[in-house]
Structure 1
Amino acid sequence: MPEEPMTDAEKTQQPRGLSVEVTATDGIRVLTLAGEIDHHTGAPLRQALDVSDTARPRIVIDMRQVTFIDSSGINILIATHQAVTAAGGWLRLVGPAGSVMRTLQIVGVDALIDCRPTLREALTN
């Protein structure tokens, strides 16, 4: 028996997720995110950003497909920035836009963490 399509109310009640894809380019860890970063979706991001076993980590987080970030997501970014900087590396954000960029600006993360408009710019010095 075919499944009935979801109603709009059912779609809005479904939890939104976060997709985290990790690749590497020239020794730089690149995380491509899609979805929402919040208390419920932060664990996979936190795990992908673990730098405890990396000397001089260099990380780029592609945020062009991130649609929402809350305080727990902000805390993950700040903690990662602190850990990476303490290890002699760097963290860069790519393409946060709209409400995500406004949130980063309001709390000052854009002044703390280097934000670049394109992935190409983030991967070069």
Structure 2
Amino acid sequence: MHVVDELSAMDHGELSVTRTDVDGITVLGLRGEIDYESAGALTRAMPPADPTAGSRVVVDLSGVTFMDSSGINALIAAHQATRAAQGWLRLAGVRDSVLRTVQLVGLDTLATCHPTVRDALAA
């Protein structure tokens, strides 16, 4: 992996978000809980949609211990934005409790789930 740019962590309540660019792909590393109060941090960390360059994003959920409907809605919006920009959204490292929520609402049919960030980048 080649890291092009790394932003410092942004702490928002119970969620920490780091943003790293790897060979033109944005990798968002999340730690903590994604709920109504913290979902905005995820939304703000998303790269601006650029239809000329495509928007490719991997969201690393391996450090997420809880996600409610606000997190699901933020990820659906992220999927829609990346798709509109001729790109994609992939999820990595989704823990069992969060994975059940992702599967229950069908988010895994929109954004593919991968065991690790490396797998998501290689897919």
Q: Scaled by the length of structure 2, what TM-score is found?
A: 0.84
Point out the more displaced range, 77-86 or 48-57: 48-57
Pick aligned residue for 1:28 from 13, 25, 28: 25
Gaps of 5+ in 1: 1-15
**Corresponding position of 1:119:** 117
Q: Scaled by the length of structure 1, what TM-score is found?
A: 0.83
RMSD of aligned alpha carbons: 1.6
Instruction: Using the TM superposition, give the Cα deviation of residue 18 of structure 1 relative to its aligned residue in structure 2, in angstroms.
Output: 0.3
Kept in 1: contact 2:65–2:97 (CA 8 A): yes
What is the one-letter code of the residue matched to 1:62? D
Gaps of 5+ in 2: 1-12
Is it true that 1:108 corresponds to 2:106 in the alignment? yes
Is it true that 1:65 corresponds to 2:44 in the alignment? no
What is the one-letter code of the residue matched to 2:58? V
Q: Please give the alpha-carbon distance, in whole angstroms, between the structure 1 residues aligned to 2:47 and 2:26.
A: 11
**Corresponding position of 2:75:** 77
SS of alignment partner, residue 61 of structure 1: strand
Kept in 1: contact 2:65–2:98 (CA 8 A): yes
Q: Please give the alpha-carbon distance, in whole angstroms, between the structure 1 residues aligned to 2:111 and 2:50.
A: 22
Q: Please give the alpha-carbon distance, in whole angstroms, between the structure 2 residues aligned to 1:116 and 1:69.
A: 18
Is it true that 1:18 corresponds to 2:15 in the alignment? yes
Q: Please give the alpha-carbon distance, in whole angstroms, between the structure 2 residues aligned to 1:60 and 1:51.
A: 14
Question: Computing the radius of gyration over CA atoms, which structure comes out larger, 1 or 2?
Answer: 1
**Corresponding position of 1:56:** 54
Kept in 1: contact 2:35–2:71 (CA 8 A): yes
SS of alignment partner, residue 21 of structure 1: strand
Q: Please give the alpha-carbon distance, in whole angstroms, between the structure 2 residues aligned to 1:61 and 1:25.
A: 12
Q: Please give the alpha-carbon distance, in whole angstroms, between the structure 1 residues aligned to 2:19 and 2:47.
A: 12
